[in-house]
Amino acid sequence: MLVLAFFDTGFLGGDERWRRLREARPASRQHFPLNLPSTLGQYDLAKPEQTAPVVGMARQAGIDGFVIDCRWLGGAYRHDAAVLAPFCGEAFGLAFRWRNGEEPVWADGAAGLEQVERAGALVAALKDAPAVRLGGRPVVIVEDPKHLAAPAAVIAALRQAAEQAGLPGLYLIANRAEDKGRFLSVGFDSLIDPSPEEWHSCTPSNRATGLDYLEVMAGMKDSADYLDRFFPYLTFTVSRMIERERRGKVMPRVFASFHNWLRHPDGGSTHLMAGSRPFDTHLFELFVENSMLFAHSHFPAGERAIFLQSWNGWLDGTQIEPSLLDGDLVFNAARAAIDRGRYMILTRGETPGEIDDVLKERVALLCEAAKGAL
């Protein structure tokens, strides 16, 4: 069972990202303030002596690797694996989130040749990184699978490029909540739950009306009431787990908190709330451990993973790293939940054999019929 955490490599070679965080001010009293790091400080990933404790602390929490961004910039694919590589090894590695949505070429159905070249360039950029593996292959999350005009061809090109580069293949994950016959059948190995911003998994607690709009315009109400969406954390996370096996082979994405108002200065941000607080460590722990158990029960051995959003997503409040406002509460909760999840998996052992698909289908139909007859 792998626990992989999204990691922002933007804290590299300068203070710009930290400055942005320091200077961020909520525009509404309903926005939780962003936090600042404590134990690890405002590190510069260009400095190995500052990067080493970051990886060390993640490993201490039971995290097996980071997911870092890979994007097309200046005529080549770029990522920052090199700054983390010295601290990776057997027990810790990297996966990639390919920001394909930023490249118009993938939406162009007539750009087949260029896409094959790009696929080769992408694999060339990833092939030497210290990779975590699922199904024995390096892991790539395709951030915007709907942006691929010809997904089957792209996947085939990526696999071929991987083979030519001497890799055992790629484990390709589409960032989608539900298969609906569009992703796994074209060659993706699995899916991953989208982030809270992309997938509002329950109805918001503020459902703005026309009257709200008028009151906002009249200066009688905070515009956040109308423009932003606020969700109760418990309902939001439980909703992501209800009958989730029916959504296909979708890997869970877990998070302790989320409030991305900094990225939406004009409104439209997403906020998760645990009562009046941005997080509840107990509920977060339950989310993590149940996700781990789900992955263990429903995915084949070697393909079991959950994705933690995030290790250092300070700009949308998802960080696990110890912070000034919360100390090590969230870090300890993540560590405890991972420990609990791993222990529970140990007590369950390997998932026993299942009935074959034909019989499973027959059972499903019989149950459906019985339900209809009630």
Partner 1 sequence: MLAGLALSTATGRIEGFDFQFSKGRLAADEIFDSATSPPARYVIELARRISAAASSADLLVIANPLLPLKAEQIAGWITGSAFGPMLLADADGFPLLYCLPRAAFAEIEPFLLMLSAVDADLDQRLLTGLTGLSLPVHRLAGLTIGEYPISTPGGWFQGSLRQRVLKLTTANAIKIVESRSDWRNVPVAAYHPYHAGSIVFFAMASRDVTTPLVKRHVICSSYKDIIAGTASTLAPIWLKLPFLPRDGSVGEPHYFVHSLDRLGEAVLKDNFLVFMRYSRVSAVSPFHMIDHDRFSLGESLTRTEHLRQVQPPLVSERCAAPAAPLRVLFHVTGGLPIKNYPLDYAKVAIRCLRALGIQISVIGRPDLEPFGAVSVEADETDSLIAAVREHHIFIGLDSFPHHYVRNVMGWPTIGLFGTTGSANFGGGWSAQYRALDANLACHPCGAETSCPVFGSSECINYARPEHLVAAILSMAEQVYGFAVE
Cα–Cα distances in angstroms (integers) from residue 218 to residues 182, 212, 215, in the given order: 46, 10, 5
Which SS3 state, helix, strand or coil, does residue 250 take?
Answer: strand
Q: Residue 257 and residue 72: Cα distance in Å, rounded? A: 29
Q: How many residues bind partner 1 (CB under 8 A)?
A: 44
Contacts of residue 169, defined as CB under 8 A and 6 or more positions apart, other chains included, come to 135, 136, 137, 159, 162, 163
Binding residue for partner 1, selected from 23, 49, 90, 354, defined by CB under 8 A: 354
Decide: is 353 part of the binding site for partner 1 (CB under 8 A).
yes
Decide: is 75 part of the binding site for partner 1 (CB under 8 A).
no
Decide: is 373 part of the binding site for partner 1 (CB under 8 A).
yes
Please state the closest distance from residue 65 (CB atom) to partner 1, in A: 19
Under a CB-based contact definition with an 8 Å cutoff, are residues 194 and 175 in contact? yes
Please state the closest distance from residue 235 (CB atom) to partner 1, in A: 6
Decide: is 150 part of the binding site for partner 1 (CB under 8 A).
no
Residue placing its CB nearer to partner 1 in the complex, 23 or 354: 354
Residue placing its CB nearer to partner 1 in the complex, 208 or 329: 329
Comparing C-alpha atoms, which of 144, 132, 143 is closest to residue 170? 132
Under a CB-based contact definition with an 8 Å cutoff, are residues 63 and 57 in contact? no
Q: Residue 116 and residue 5: Cα distance in Å, rounded? A: 30
Please state the closest distance from residue 228 (CB atom) to partner 1, in A: 23
Q: Residue 134 and residue 120: Cα distance in Å, rounded? A: 21
Give, as ranges, the residues between 285 and 344 that touch partner 1 (CB under 8 A): 286-287, 290-291, 293-294, 297, 335-337, 339-344
Decide: is 346 part of the binding site for partner 1 (CB under 8 A).
yes
Binding residue for partner 1, selected from 75, 166, 181, 352, defined by CB under 8 A: 352
Under a CB-based contact definition with an 8 Å cutoff, are residues 319 and 57 in contact? no
Tokens read off for 285: 């722990």
Please state the closest distance from residue 43 (CB atom) to partner 1, in A: 26
Tokens read off for 126: 């990833």
H or E stretch at 160: helix 151-164
Please state the closest distance from residue 369 (CB atom) to partner 1, in A: 8
What letter does residue 197 receive in the DSSP assignment? T
| Interface characters, 236-275, with partner 1 (x: CB under 8 A) | -xx-xxxxx-------------------------------
Binding residue for partner 1, selected from 34, 68, 283, 306, defined by CB under 8 A: 283
Give, as ranges, the residues between 204 and 243 that touch partner 1 (CB under 8 A): 234-235, 237-238, 240-243
Under a CB-based contact definition with an 8 Å cutoff, are residues 44 and 12 in contact? yes
Under a CB-based contact definition with an 8 Å cutoff, are residues 262 and 317 in contact? no
Binding-site ranges for partner 1 (CB under 8 A): 234-235, 237-238, 240-244, 283, 286-287, 290-291, 293-294, 297, 335-337, 339-344, 346-349, 352-355, 359-360, 363-364, 366-367, 370-371, 373-374
